[in-house]
Amino acid sequence: MNNKLFVSSTPHITSTVSTMYMMIVMALALVPTSVFAVVNFGIRVVYLILIGVGTSYALEKVLNLLKDKNGQWLDFSSVVTGLMVTLVMPVSVPLWMPALGSAIAIFVFKFCFGGLSKNVFNPTAAARVILSVMFSGLNLSLFTGTAIGENVASPLHYFAMGDYATINLRSMFFGSVPGAMGTVAIITILACGIILMFLKITDFVVPVGAVVTFVASVWIFKGAVGIIPYLFAGSFLFACVFMITDPVTSPNTVWGRLVYGLLFGIFAGLFMTKNVMGETGVFVAVLIVNLIAPLLDKIFMPRPLGLKEVK
pLDDT: which is higher, 67 or 104: 104
Instruction: Give the other-Cβ count within 10 Å of 199's Cβ.
Output: 13
Round the average pLDDT of the chain to a whole number and report it. 86
162 pLDDT band (50/70/90 cuts)? confident
Long-range Cβ contact pairs of 297-303 (< 8 A, separation 24 or more)? 297/251, 297/252, 297/253, 297/256, 299/256, 300/251, 300/253, 300/255, 300/256, 300/259, 301/253, 302/253
How much is the pTM?
A: 0.88
Q: Between the ranges 96-100, 106-110, 145-149, 252-256, where is the mean pLDDT highest? A: 96-100
Quick one: pLDDT band at residue 147, thresholds 50, 70, 90? low
What is the pLDDT at residue 107? 93
pLDDT at 240 exceeding the cut of 90: yes
Report whether 225 contacts 219 (CB < 8 A). Answer: no
Locate the domains of the chain by residue range.
19-300
Straight-line distance from the first to the last Cα atom of the chain, in angstroms, rounded to the nearest whole number: 41
How many residues does this entry show for the chain?
311
Q: Do residues 272 and 234 touch, judged by C-beta distance below 8 A? A: yes
Tens-place pLDDT, residues 110-142: 888 777 667 889 999 999 999 999 998 888 778
Instruction: Please give the share of the chain, as a percent, with pLDDT higher than 90.
Output: 55
Whether the predicted pLDDT of 74 surpasses 50: yes
Asked whether the predicted pLDDT for residue 149 surpasses 80, the reply is no
Q: What percent of the chain has a predicted confidence (pLDDT) above 70?
A: 86
- The arithmetic mean of pLDDT across residues 79-98, rounded, is 94
Q: What is the pLDDT of residues 37-50, one digit of tens each?
A: 999 899 999 999 99
Picking from 102-111, 152-161, 182-191, 229-238, which range would have the lowest pLDDT averaged per residue? 152-161
Give yes or no for residue 71 having a pLDDT over 90: no
Burial 72-98 (b: 16+ CB within 10 A, else e): eeebbbbbbbbbbbbbbbbbbbeeebb
CATH architecture observed for domain 19-300: Orthogonal Bundle (1.10)
pLDDT digits (tens, 9 = 90+) for 255-278: 999 999 999 999 999 999 998 888
Which of 111-120, 189-198, 294-303 comes out lowest in average pLDDT? 111-120
